[in-house]
Structure 1
Amino acid sequence: MTIGILALQGAFAEHEAMLEALAADYREIRQRKDLTDDLAGIILPGGESTVQSKLLHELGLFEPLRQKILQGLPVLATCAGLILLAQEVSNDEPSMATLPVRVRRNAYGRQLGSFARAGDVADLRGFPLRFIRAPYIEACLDKKVQVLNETEGHITAVRYHNQLAMAFHPELTRDLRIHSFFLDMVAKRKELALGA
């Protein structure tokens, strides 16, 4: 079970460290040939969403990756990754538009550009939330979007079928629970595929 990690820009090395701590196999996705059918899931890291989107287009990765997600490939998206997936971005153009939410980029502004809290993410109690010039979700555009976390009155983590997306950075903590939860999602999808 190999997880792809988009490694064009941003905090991909930190996600790799989390998967290593969980003894999970992973491969960096840097070019079209890396995006193979054996991938069981993919991680879209935090960073600069505009740069990542531009590089995805330039490298011919954008549409193949988008199609894999639409076809059910489990994805964990953090910060910039959330912006990449969002169907609408209130202060920018949308990118992959696979996740039916409306997001605001750099939503907390310069003064609160980075901050930390502890909060519950679904059933994960007291998770350390690290926000760095973070977006938040202004609205869910489909009733099937599950809200997993709200911080200071704003939605900051959701799940929609195979897509797990959050405004904060679990990879910048020592808490492995979100990555473990994602690996469970991946394993369950694989079991369903084998049973079909």
Structure 2
Amino acid sequence: MSTPTIGVLALQGDVAEHLRALEVCGARAVPVRRPSELADVDALLLPGGESTTIDKLLRAFGLMQPLRERIAAGMPAYGSCAGMILLADRIEDGMAGQQTVGGIDMVVRRNAFGRQVDSFEATVAIATIGGAPFHAVFIRAPWVESVSADVEVLARVESGPAAGRIVAVRQGTLVATSFHPEVTGDLRVHEYFVSLVREGAPSTAPASPIDTA
């Protein structure tokens, strides 16, 4: 699959930035707002935004169940910030009645790093991707409380009060980050995701005990 078609969930959040990043990385990027549009893509990117709002809009637009079915059937997906929350099987500090799409066997704590005023930037290394550490931007970001043995931890916060917290994971062809790579100009996360879509590769994470932050 030389030029995969990757959708960006276009209900709320950083849609335009992700569309541009995916195009630069060699994918055909299209906005997705309807089940018919979801059916036509090879993979989906779930952008940052407000996870509770996106949850409500997914249900209002009739996308929640089709998206769950496609992910369960093996469609690759990447979730950034709110997208990470949506891809989690379980969440902490969610709003009453909040639902997720699921797919990654992890527990994510919503708004774990604080409110908008607590947004920050930090250095994050992702060994699987390589190269220099990422300049990661966290905006009302979640973190991962724990993952199962099927989930590969890609990155943790390296310093400060939140040192050691899990902020990037992969399970099969599902990837999630707490931070926003689309706002920095560093496209390595998008390149990594596009390569997974092209390969359709399963996770190579070794089995291990449950990993917690």
Say whether the fold is shared (TM-score over 0.5).
Answer: yes
Distance in 1, matches of 2:153 and 2:117, equals 23
Residue 179 of structure 1: aligned partner? 190
Q: 2:135 aligns with which of 116, 128, 133?
A: 128
Distance in 1, matches of 2:138 and 2:56, equals 23
Residue 90 of structure 1: aligned partner? 92
Contact 2:105 2:150 in 1 (8 A): no
**TM-score scaled by structure 1?**
0.91
Gaps of 5+ in 2: 158-162, 202-213
Contact 1:120 1:127 in 2 (8 A): yes
Distance 1:72 1:111, change over 3 A: closer
Deviation of the 1:91 alpha carbon: 0.9
Instruction: State the Cα RMSD in Å.
Output: 1.5
Gaps of 5+ in 1: 191-196
Distance in 2, matches of 1:84 and 1:110, equals 18
> Runs of 4+ in structure 1 displaced over 6 angstroms?
none
Residue 174 of structure 2: aligned partner? 163
Q: 1:28 aligns with which of 15, 27, 31?
A: 31
Deviation of the 1:94 alpha carbon: 4.2
Distance in 2, matches of 1:178 and 1:29, equals 20
Paired AA for residue 140 in structure 2: R
- Percent of aligned pairs with the same residue? 43
Distance 1:47 1:70, change over 3 A: same
Contact 1:88 1:94 in 2 (8 A): no
**Alignment coverage as a number of residue pairs:** 188
Residue 119 of structure 2: aligned partner? 114
Distance in 2, matches of 1:179 and 1:64, equals 24
Deviation of the 1:23 alpha carbon: 3.4
Choose between structure 1 and 2: higher strand proportion.
1
Q: 1:63 is paired with a residue of what secondary structure?
A: helix
What are the residue-to-residue correspondences of 1:98-109 with 2, within 5 Å?
A: 98-109=103-114
Deviation of the 1:20 alpha carbon: 2.4
Deviations 1:37-59 (A, max 9, x none): x4111100000010001000011
Residue 68 of structure 1: aligned partner? 70
Distance 1:154 1:17, change over 3 A: same
**TM-score scaled by structure 2?**
0.84
